[in-house]
């Protein structure tokens, strides 16, 4: 796995890159060795780019027969120690949920790129729509927590993909990158740092030197302390005798039914307990803000502009941006919204999945206003209008 071929890293410098390509390059920089996918608009450039690039670094890019095969092959590759990824869009994600749930159970690290398009059903394939937000959180039967990032530029697609792989190694739960038809096809300048700098950021897949008495997964049998060890690798000494997606102890041996709740807690608390580390956020002009915009992904960029315009008109408005969408940083948001005059949540969907989360931590007398938009980007004026409305 240490086959760091010269071609893994692009020469440092600036590149004009499509979003989907930036994501793929981020993955390669992280040490991606296996990609399993099935073409689907608007994610297809990811597999196309990697079909060319992965063999160059001695990796393998496989076009599988369908999405089910793709995600299962990704899981297989990760099991034997390869950094692995898939990319798809909503319909593919739907098909993959059973496997995602299983991977969550056996804590297999991989990265999942969801380039969202407009559903339901086959839908409009070339337009953006953040309509998988709810589905990524509940991405399969059973209970588990996921981590999902919402980048908003090509540079972030590159950088957050590296972070995603690191989180995958660390937290061993499904890691989503929520892109969309628009972001995936935008071209922007991406700054590729030197190889050394990237390598410093990357967490490699290694196994402990001493594999005797190694802990493979979950909480310590004796102390009941929640620990997340390095992922095990099939084909090495560092592997439990049995890998089974039933509630199991850290050696892969089944836990009795009665302990199911304890197992669920482990699956969920390993993320919730680390939420402060996992949750990436950004604040913009929040200090004196009375009106707070909470958003993620591309609508944040329209929000910047809207805030600047509103500030010119003397309206005290700021932005709290979720870079990590899941887990939702409940406590942090609670602090941010406390005492606000109004909350505005521009989302690229009608349901307002994140708006619902905001409502949980907002006093009933503070209005939470949705600004839905579908199939096309929010125009800064859409958000400005909402700001002016509540500022009145």
Tell me whether residue 361 or residue 383 sits nearer to another protein (CB atom).
383
Tell me whether residue 105 or residue 357 sits nearer to another protein (CB atom).
105
Ramachandran bin of 97, using left for φ above 0, alpha for ψ from -120 to 50, beta for the remaining angles: alpha
Q: Does the bond joining 374 to the residue before it have cis omega, within 30 degrees of 0?
A: no
DSSP state of 231: P
Alpha-carbon distance 256 to 249, whole Å? 10
In terms of Cβ atoms closer than 10 Å to its own Cβ (0-12, 13-18, 19+), residue 365 is exposed
Residues of this chain, 224-283, that bind another protein according to CB under 8 A: 234-236, 239, 241-245, 253-254, 256-257
Alpha-carbon distance 215 to 221, whole Å? 9
Q: Does 91 bind ligand TPP (CB under 6 A)?
A: yes
Torsion angles phi and psi, residue 126, rounded to 5: -110, 5
Q: Does 123 bind ligand TPP (CB under 6 A)?
A: no
- Return the range that interacts with another protein (CB under 8 A); candidates 142-150, 299-307, 345-353, 362-370: 299-307
Q: Does 122 bind ligand TPP (CB under 6 A)?
A: yes
- Return the range that interacts with ligand TPP (CB under 6 A); candidates 88-96, 225-233, 325-333, 377-385: 88-96
| 36 touches, from another protein, ligand TPP, its own copies, none (C-beta below 5 to 8 Å by class) | another protein
Instruction: Map residues 153-192 to x or -, x wherever contact with another protein holds by CB under 8 A.
Output: x---------------------------xx--xxxxx---
Q: 10 Å Cβ neighbour count for 265?
A: 15
Residue count at the site for ligand TPP (CB under 6 A)?
8
Q: In this structure, are residues 130 and 325 in contact, taking their beta carbons and an 8 Å threshold?
A: no
Tell me whether residue 77 or residue 203 sits nearer to another protein (CB atom).
77
**Beta strands 187-192 and 13-18, pairing class:** antiparallel
String of DSSP letters for 96-122: HHHHHHHHHHHT---EEEEEE-B-SSS
In angstroms, what is the C-alpha Rg of the chain? Answer: 21
Q: In this structure, are residues 8 and 53 in contact, taking their beta carbons and an 8 Å threshold?
A: no
- Return the range that interacts with ligand TPP (CB under 6 A); candidates 35-43, 332-340, 347-355, 381-389: 35-43
List interacting residues with its own copies (CB under 8 A): 68, 89-91, 93-95, 97-98, 101-102, 104-106, 118-124, 127, 129, 131-132, 134-135, 137-144, 245-247, 257-258, 260-261, 264-265, 267-268, 334, 349-351, 356-357, 359-364, 372-376
Alpha-carbon distance 284 to 288, whole Å? 10
Q: Does 40 bind ligand TPP (CB under 6 A)?
A: yes
| 161 touches, from its own copies, ligand TPP, another protein, none (C-beta below 5 to 8 Å by class) | none
Q: How many residues does the chain have?
A: 392
Strand order in the sheet with 175-180: 60-63, 32-37, 83-88, 111-116, 175-180, 147-149, 324-326
| 277 touches, from another protein, its own copies, ligand TPP, none (C-beta below 5 to 8 Å by class) | none
Q: Does 3 bind ligand TPP (CB under 6 A)?
A: no
One residue of 1, 15, 39, 76 binding ligand TPP per CB under 6 A = 39
Residues of this chain, 14-73, that bind another protein according to CB under 8 A: 14-16, 33-34, 36, 38-42, 44, 47-48, 51-52, 55-58, 60-70, 72-73
Which residues, in sequence order, are CB contacts of 277 under 8 Å at separation 6+?
none
| 75 touches, from another protein, its own copies, ligand TPP, none (C-beta below 5 to 8 Å by class) | another protein
Binding site for ligand TPP (CB under 6 A): 38-40, 67, 91-92, 95, 122
């Amino acid at each position: 796995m240490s086959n760091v071929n010269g071609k893994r890293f692009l020469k440092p410098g600036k590149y004009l890159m499509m979003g989907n390509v930036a994501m793929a390059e981020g993955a390669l920089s992280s040490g991606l060795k296996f990609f399993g996918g099935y073409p689907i608009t608007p994610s297809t450039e990811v597999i196309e780019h990697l079909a060319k690039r992965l063999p160059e670094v001695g990796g393998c890019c496989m076009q599988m027969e369908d999405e089910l095969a793709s995600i299962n092959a990704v899981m297989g590759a990760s099991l034997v120690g390869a950094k692995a990824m898939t990319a798809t869009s909503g319909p593919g994600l739907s098909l993959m949920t059973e496997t995602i749930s299983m991977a969550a159970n056996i804590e297999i690290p991989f990265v999942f790129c969801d380039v969202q398009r407009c559903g339901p059903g086959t839908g409009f394939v070339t337009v953006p729509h953040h309509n998988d937000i709810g589905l990524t959180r509940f991405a399969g039967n059973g209970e588990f927590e996921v981590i999902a990032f919402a980048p908003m530029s090509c540079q972030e697609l590159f950088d957050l993909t590296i972070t995603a792989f690191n989180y995958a190694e660390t937290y061993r739960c499904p890691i989503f990158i929520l892109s969309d038809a628009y972001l995936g096809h935008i071209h922007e300048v991406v700054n590729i740092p030197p190889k050394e700098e990237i390598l410093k950021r990357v967490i490699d897949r290694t196994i402990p030197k001493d594999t005797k008495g190694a802990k493979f997964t979950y909480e310590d049998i004796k102390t009941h302390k929640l620990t997340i060890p390095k992922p095990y690798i099939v084909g090495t000494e560092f592997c439990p005798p049995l890998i089974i997606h039933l509630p199991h102890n850290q050696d892969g041996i089944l836990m009795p039914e009665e302990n199911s709740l304890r197992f669920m807690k482990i699956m969920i608390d390993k993320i919730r307990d680390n939420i402060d580390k996992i949750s990436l956020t950004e604040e913009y002009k929040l200090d004196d803000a009375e009106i707070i915009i909470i958003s993620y992904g591309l609508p944040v960029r329209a929000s910047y502009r809207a805030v600047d315009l509103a500030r010119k008109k003397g309206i005290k408005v700021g932005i709290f941006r979720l870079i990590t969408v899941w887990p939702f940083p409940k406590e942090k948001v609670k602090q941010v919204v406390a005492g606000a005059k109004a909350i505005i949540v521009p989302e690229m969907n009608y349901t307002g999945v994140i708006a619902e989360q905001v409502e949980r931590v907002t006093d009933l007398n503070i209005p939470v206003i949705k600004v839905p938009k579908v199939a096309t980007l929010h125009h800064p004026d859409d958000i400005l209008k909402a700001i002016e409305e509540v500022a009145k």
